[in-house]
Amino acid sequence: MGDLVQSLIDAKLTPEGVSDWVFYLTAALVFGGIVVFGFVLPIAGITTWVERRIMGRMQSRIGPNRVGPAGFLQWLADGIKNMLKEDIVPTAADGPLFRFAPYVVMTGFVGTFAALPFTSALIIADLNVGILYVTSVTALVVVGILMAGWASNNKWSLLGGIRSAAQIVSYEIPAGLSIFPIVLLTGSLSMQDIIKAQGAGPYSWFLFANPFTFLAFFVFFVSALAEGNRTPFDLPEAESELVAGFATEYSGMRNLLFFMAEWGNLYVIGAIVTTLFLGGWHVPFTFENPLVQHGLEFATFFLKAYGVGVLVPIWLRWTLPRIRVDQMMSMCWKYLVPIAFVNLLGTAAWMLWAPVWMQVVVRLVLLTAAVGATLAFLRRVVFHLEAAKLGREHLSFNPLGTARSPG
């Protein structure tokens, strides 16, 4: 986007006598506004509806279905409700910190979008330290959560905040270490360069580049879930133990900001995973029309990011119970960190010594293994369907479908 602004300035489209930095600032605010209100907020909002719909179906319920077609406008109704609610600050709370905390969390979350790619041309700032920027700006979230936990002056909130700090600080390490193999392979930290080093087909994704990046994908995914405070790592909120954790004392819009950041973070996880491992916006064909080309690229990137970053975590959330604090810590330090180190060293060794034929064979083996695992998984799904002994009339692949008739 910087180039675009510079070209506008060069073309003398700016008013006379205004310094360039004013124009840059205006452009940044406008683009920021477009991204936040046109993309981030709807994504976070609609994800709440998608989650409740999927959760309902996984529990043989229907989910929200009254506001708008199939309940689609539920997120707007919830948003309006939350904005109209009273904004309560407890008398014993540290007022300024308490009011400020949601904005810090929101900043840490929205800030990532500055470096997240959408298509090959559409990225707000293709920083040369892109992935580093994304991981570091996400770390701001923990500051906000700890601030909220402390300023609430409440035991549950404080426990939630401290748990969150311990969890995010621990899981930053395997997450960061799982990014390094990709950085080794590309030789660049820029998000666009990482995507450009991959291709359209799964064969040329970094996911299947070598056995170590294959493992790194899973390590990164689990760590990203933990950093995003998602189930099974939702210890900071832990409804059954800590009321609502760091968000206990918050009401109305401030409470909504926390949850918007949580759901929006899912898309951020997906976008990072897609960039690093799943070939980003690559489409197999090129088109003359730039609108078609970038539209397709956007759709590809969005579907990958939404599928991996939003739908799979939702699915996991309604499958797995919350893990214990000590299990969460031992999983990070005893399993993910050593595996991440092995991945880093392994990728380096692989780049040094693996001959070309071996790289090709291993890519194909990994691809076959992934397909085989998917097929084995589908067999288990069919097994569970058959074990339930349901008639064909009790099956429906339509997630918007209605109820079964009684009988």
Contact residues for another protein (CB under 8 A)?
A: 54, 56-62, 65, 315-316, 318-320, 335, 377, 380-385, 388, 390, 393-397, 399, 401-407
Q: Smallest distance, Å, CB 77 to another protein?
A: 18
Q: Smallest distance, Å, CB 159 to another protein?
A: 27
> 171 near 268, Cβ under 8 Å?
no
CA distance 158 to 92: 14
Q: Smallest distance, Å, CB 108 to another protein?
A: 29
CA distance 220 to 138: 14
Distances (CA, A) of 174 to 186, 220, 225, 253, 305: 19, 7, 12, 34, 21
| DSSP states along 57-117 | HHTT-----SSSGGGTTHHHHHHHHHHHS-----TTS-HHHHHHHHHHHHHHHHGGGGT-B
Residue 355 or 391 with smaller CB distance to another protein: 391
CA distance 369 to 359: 15
Q: Smallest distance, Å, CB 384 to another protein?
A: 4
For residue 387, what are its two tokens? 């074990």
CA distance 325 to 216: 23
Phi and psi dihedrals of 63, rounded to 5? 90, 180
Q: Smallest distance, Å, CB 376 to another protein?
A: 8
Residue 287 or 377 with smaller CB distance to another protein: 377
For residue 67, what are its two tokens? 């506001």
Q: Smallest distance, Å, CB 319 to another protein?
A: 4
Residue 286 or 405 with smaller CB distance to another protein: 405
Residue 61 or 81 with smaller CB distance to another protein: 61
Residue 155 or 379 with smaller CB distance to another protein: 379
For residue 312, what are its two tokens? 């799979």
Question: Cα–chain-centroid distance for residue 123?
Answer: 17
Q: Residue 43 corresponds to which amino acid?
A: I
In which residue are the tokens 């294959």 written?
Answer: 214
Residue 78: left if φ>0, alpha if ψ -120 to 50, beta else—which one? alpha
Residue 57 or 85 with smaller CB distance to another protein: 57
Q: Smallest distance, Å, CB 377 to another protein?
A: 6
Q: Smallest distance, Å, CB 54 to another protein?
A: 7
Q: Smallest distance, Å, CB 361 to another protein?
A: 24
In which residue are the tokens 């939003």 written?
Answer: 310
Residue 12 or 384 with smaller CB distance to another protein: 384
Q: What is the DSSP letter of 40?
A: I
For residue 123, what are the β-bridge partners? 117
What angle (nearest 5°) sits at the alpha carbon of residue 222, between those of residues 221 and 225? 85
Residue 37 or 315 with smaller CB distance to another protein: 315
Residue 7 or 396 with smaller CB distance to another protein: 396
Residue 29 or 385 with smaller CB distance to another protein: 385
Q: Smallest distance, Å, CB 343 to another protein?
A: 14
CA distance 232 to 235: 8
